[in-house]
Amino acid sequence: LKRPLTLSEKILYGHLDQPETEHIERGVSYLRLRPDRVAMQDATAQMAMLQFISSGLPKSLHKEVFDFLSSAGNKYGIGFWNPGSGIIHQIFLENYAFPGLLLIGTDSHTPNGGGLGGLCIGVGGADAVDVMANLPWELKCPKVIGIRLTGKLSGWTSAKDVILKVSEILTVKGGTGAIIEYFGPGVESISATGMGTICNMGAEVGATTSVFPYNESMRDYLVPLNLQTESKKHGACQNRLDNAIILLPGRKNEEIPIAKALGGKNEVEERKLRIFEL
C-alpha cells in the first residue's frame, strides 16, 4: 500500500487469504480472510454445524445430516423423504397440495403449489419454526393482482410463455407485495403442472405467491393421486382485483387504460398494459 498501517489494518491484512493478489481499497473492496478461530453459542451453533457437515466434505459425512433430519422427524411426527426421492416442490405437488391449502415452505419454489389451487408461500427458516411451534405467522397483508386469461394455448406455446409475457409487463418488481390470481376462460387450456410452472415463476416478478382457481385440469391431476378435494369458496370478488390484466385473442400490442384500486374513492390511478394473445 506504500503507507503506514493502522493497528486494525495490521491485524486484518495479516490474515488475508492471498495478500499478494488482494486488491485493498477502504470502503470499496471485499477482503478474503483466514480467521484464527470461530466462536459459536448454543442458538447459532446447531445450524452452523449442520451446514459445516454438508458443505464441501466427503459425501459419506452427509449421512449425518439426513440421520439427524430423519430422527427429528420420527420424534416429532414430521414427514421425511429420503435422499433421491425427488425435488421438494414436485414432491409437495404430487403428495400434499390441494385447493384451498395455505402453506409456507423454506424453498423459493414453494409457490409451485398454486398450480393445484393452494396459497403456497416461500419463507425463511424462522417463519417456519414459528408455525411449527404453534405460533401465528405474521404476513403483511398482500395486494392482489388479477390476470384474466382468454383464448387457449396452441401450436408451439407453453405455460412458460404465459409467465414470460407477464414478467415482461410487470417487470422484476411489479408483483412485489402482491398475490397474483389467474382466472378467466384461458385457464382451462393449461394443465395442472403448467399452472404450477406459472406460479413457480411468479418469483421472477417479486410476487408473494400465485394461484389458480380449481378447475378440471386440477381434478384430472388429483383424482389419480387420491387427493381430490372440493374447491372452497372464499367470497373473492374477481371484478375487484387490483391491476386486472386483460388478455384477449387476436388483438396484439393494443393498449387500454386499467384502473388500479388503492383503497379509497379518490385514490385511483390509471396505467396502460398491453393486451396480448395467448
Cβ contact 139:123 at 8 Å? no
Per-residue three-class SS string for 133-191: CCCCCCCCCCEEEEEECCCCCCCCCCHHHHHHHHHHHHCCCCCECEEEEEECHHHHHCC
Q: Residue 171's domain is classified under what CATH number?
A: 3.30.499.10
**pLDDT exceeds cutoff 80 at 185:** yes
pLDDT at res. 133: 80
Count of other CB atoms within 10 angstroms of residue 55:
9
State the DSSP string of 182-232.
EESGGGGGS-HHHHHHHHHGGGGGTBSEEE----HHHHHHHGGGT---PPP
Mean pLDDT to the nearest integer, 144-157? 88
Contact 232, 211 (CB under 8 A): no
Contact 124, 117 (CB under 8 A): no
* One-letter amino acid of 255: E
Residue 273 lies in a domain: yes
| Residue 229 predicted with pLDDT over 60 | no
Domain annotation covers residue 25: yes
Report how far Cα 135 is from the mean position of its chain's Cα atoms: 22
Domain count, the chain: 1
Residue 196 within a domain: yes
Q: What pLDDT is stored for residue 277 in this prediction?
A: 32
Parent domain of 67: 7-236+252-277
Q: Do the domain assignments include residue 95?
A: yes
Question: Exposed, middle or buried: residue 52 (CB in 10 Å: 0-12, 13-18, 19+)?
Answer: middle
- How far apart (Å, rounded) are the C-alpha atoms in residues 179 and 249? 25
Whether residue 212 is contained in a domain is answered as yes
Q: How far apart are CA 228 and CA 222, in angstroms?
A: 5
The model's pLDDT over 44-98, given as tens digits with 9 standing for 90+, comes to 667 777 777 666 666 565 677 788 888 888 888 888 888 888 888 888 888 888 8
Report yes or no on 245 lying in a domain.
Answer: no
Asked, for residue 185, whether it belongs to a domain, the answer is: yes
Average pLDDT estimate for 95-113: 86
SS3 (DSSP) at 81: coil
Instruction: For residue 55, give the 3-state DSSP assignment.
Output: coil
- Determine, yes or no, domain membership for 1: no
